[in-house]
A and B are shown apart, each in its own frame.
Chain A
Amino acid sequence: MIKNISNLGDAAVYCDFGNEVNKTINSKVIKYFKTIKKNNIEGINNLTPSYNKLIISFDLNKTSFKEVKNYIENIDPEDSQNINSKKLEIPVCCDENFSMDIKRLEEILKLSKEKILEKFFNKEYFCYMTGFIAGMPFLGDLDENMRAQRLETPRVKVPKGSVALTEQFANIYTFESPGGWNILGNTPLDVFDSSKEDKPNLINPGDTVIFKEITLDQYKNYNEQ
């Protein structure tokens, strides 16, 4: 299932599952990720699943590339039972104060705001990975005619909760951060909460997300309910 296993430096193993980005390949990555995580191998100190790669970092004082590679080659991720994925609804407000790049998207996609929102909401998206900044989910796939490139010049500050698009993916800025994605709206939900140490991320790889449109009033009242 893994096409190639190589070393990334002297303290990480780079597992290559292919070059395409799709749910089938990503599900394999997530299966390996969950199996290795569950087995809790001495010396392995981090796992980073992404669209089609899995990086396994280890403590060079405790193990080595050869040992970890050998372990990876001999596990059967099919054995891991339920992947335990959730289905989540994420409320998003696209009021003009939030949808900072709607004009740009209308121009690039040659679609009206109504049409863009219609295509974006009430559709299932798959969480391929989380990261870059803590808890940020990478969700896909957007419709073919909803795909836009990153901004030429990234923003220095993207507001917390921004829901943004690039290529076939949507993401959510879990806290204020620099970023170059096209901002469509904002969610009042806390997608990352560092005070919840056991599960800081609302959305995890393998989860399914449906965005639901809310009004500005609903947005303002959201956290007061």
Chain B
Amino acid sequence: MSSNYLDIIRPGINTTFQDKGRDHLYHIGIPFSGAMDNRNYLIANKLVNNNLESAVIEFAYQGPHIKYSGEKINIAITGDVFFSIKKKDTEIEGNCYQSYQIEDGDEINIISTNKSVYGYLALGGELDLKFQWNSCSINTKANIGSNDGKKLDVGQRINIKKINSNKDIKKTNYINTKIENIRVIKGTNFDYFSEEGKKIFYEREFTVSKLSDRMGMRLEGPKIDNIVNTNIKSEGLIKGVIQVPADGNPIIMLSDHGTIGGYPKIGVVASVDYDRLVQMSPGSKTKFKEINLSDAETLFKLYEMETQNLLSQI
């Protein structure tokens, strides 16, 4: 029996445990999963002195309301998130990107993300979770991972196996940046689309649809016309692939995507933009901008260096 635990008073809309995800499984139909916004996931862990690959609680839009019981522990929230911490006789409005020490009976109420989608709650210690294929990441479609592969539910208790002895309070001044354009590399079926369709893809504005989740992001805009075939023989997918089905609206594959698909691939989101892509909330307007492979590689290296710098300063 663990004496340190969390009770879920309100689970939030789509609250799951996530870590770095699982690889080497596409061929049997299992996607990466893992934290959607990798940079914010890593920062959350660093702020509470965790191993960077530790499990965190990921939430989308409305987050969970949690009551803590046990010895003192540090917590940190990253993203662009409104939350409060309720202590015995006071309630404080929380700030992202700094750690707080909480104690027996304290409550964390994550009200919502602000003009973004995902936020992360890290606890300074180790959650008692089941691992499948070296990851506790929950994939709710295949019911894989911790918590029987299901999102967190009201009334459930999460045990904490170990609390970090290093309880230094940490803070960073990071501010989430947004992307106006999604940078993409031309897809393998780019020539399936009419000249007009290609122009629309790169020049017109698209709106992020409400029908977006951890599997994929749908966009709405002018129809991208296909002149070859609206289906291809089913083949592999990776995260970031932009498929255009017969209705002409692009769908971007995200971390829990199906591993095989049969719609033409017009483009692939450059890795540098993935963390910020997933944070675009429904209703956001965006454009696609073409870049070449070598620029995409350089931009990603710079982004990764920036992430490492941010982490080393915490």
> Chain A: residues with CB nearer than 8 A to chain B?
6-12, 14, 16, 19, 21, 33, 37, 45-55, 57, 60-61, 64-65, 129-136, 138, 174-175, 177, 192, 194, 197, 200-201, 204-205
| Cβ contacts under 8 Å, B28 to chain A | 130-131, 134-135, 200-201, 204
Q: Is the CB of B270 within 8 A of A131?
A: no
Q: B residues 220-273 with Cβ under 8 Å of A?
A: 233-238, 240-241, 258-261, 265, 268-271
Q: What number of A-B contacts does a CB cutoff of 8 Å give?
A: 137
Q: Is the CB of A8 within 8 A of B265?
A: yes
The closest CB in chain B to the CB of A16 belongs to: B188
Q: Is the CB of B238 within 8 A of A7?
A: no
Name 4 extra pairs, CB < 8 A, besides A131-B29, A132-B261, A175-B142.
A10-B297, A46-B23, A46-B238, A200-B28
Docked complex Cα distance between A130 and B234 (Å): 11
| Cβ contacts under 8 Å, A47 to chain B | 24, 26-27
Q: B residues 2-44 with Cβ under 8 Å of A?
A: 23-30, 32
**Would you give the 0/1 interface string for B274-306, flagging 1 where the beta carbon is closer than 8 Å to chain A?**
000000000000000000010011001000100
A177 with B141, Cβ < 8 A, contacts A65-B293, A130-B29, A132-B261 known: yes
B66 at the A/B interface (Cβ < 8 Å)? no
Cβ-defined partner of B26 (8 Å) among A10, A48, A175: A48
A48 with B132, Cβ < 8 A, contacts A130-B28, A131-B259, A136-B29 known: no
Query: Smallest distance from the beta carbon of B33 to chain A beta carbons, Å?
Result: 11
Chain B CB within 10 Å, residue with most, of A7, A65, A135: A7
| Cβ contacts under 8 Å, A19 to chain B | 233
Docked complex Cα distance between A52 and B232 (Å): 11
